Homo-oligomer: A and B are copies of this chain.
Amino acid sequence: MNTEVEKNIATNVQFLSAGEAIKKIPERATIMVGGFGITGIPQFLLEALIDETDVQDLTIISNNINKDTNLYPLFKQNRIKKAIGTYFTTNKEVVQAHREGRIEIELLPQGSFSEAIRLGGSGIPAFYTPTSAGTDLAINKETRIFNGREHVLEYSLFADVSLIKAYKADKAGNLIYRKSARNFNPIMAMAADLTIVEVEEIVEIGELNPESIVTPFAFVDIVVQKGEM
């Protein structure tokens, strides 16, 4: 069945080297970076971003800035103007830089952060959540009562570029992840004008189980094979 079609499947997903891919990031871009701690971080793409580009004044949307990831040298080079995430206290230098006004930080509860990303990628610009109502993180935010309970209006997040890490891509651009390295990666894939994915392995079309594809290729623009600088 469908053999003629099957031979000719081609999507708009591009397969590039890290250097080629990363040069598409504009100056002053807002960039989502997947990963949680050191797990599921697109280390190779970040390395290319650091080594192969001079982009400055970046806004980074990522859970935290871990010392053992390539977000750290990017921070050390003062290329991050603003960070949006959930947990920056473990990196004392980030805390210090914030105190000295060298980096702007926007802190969100992790559930509000992750939903803001997913809904940003889903065309929903704002939502009400009970999380943080009545706390310091709701200061200056709109609130509203639903079902007798106070809720906070949160705005969704959308970026110029998402840099994510997946386990495998097929040649159409469909993605699967590995264990808890999934974390923010699938939702960040949805929430940017340009989604660049670093993968361990590129497989033939048909090798991924269609029931198990986590990120359909509709959300993917560029796939980079890890190691191909």
A interface residue numbers (CB < 8 A to B)? 115, 119, 122-130, 146-147, 151, 155, 176-179, 209, 211-212
Given contacts A176-B211, A211-B177, contact A127 B130 (CB under 8 A): no
B126 to A146, Cβ gap below 8 A? Answer: yes
B130 to A128, Cβ gap below 8 A? Answer: no
A119 to B125, Cβ gap below 8 A? Answer: no
| Residues of the B chain whose Cβ atoms lie less than 8 Å from the Cβ of A151 | 125-126
| Residues of the B chain whose Cβ atoms lie less than 8 Å from the Cβ of A211 | 176-179, 212
Residue from A127, A155, A209 having most chain B Cβ neighbours under 10 A: A127
Q: How far is the CB of A154 from chain B (nearest CB, A)?
A: 9
| Residues of the B chain whose Cβ atoms lie less than 8 Å from the Cβ of A125 | 128, 130, 146-147, 151
| Residues of the B chain whose Cβ atoms lie less than 8 Å from the Cβ of A124 | 115, 127-129
Alpha-carbon distance A146/B124, docked complex (angstroms): 10
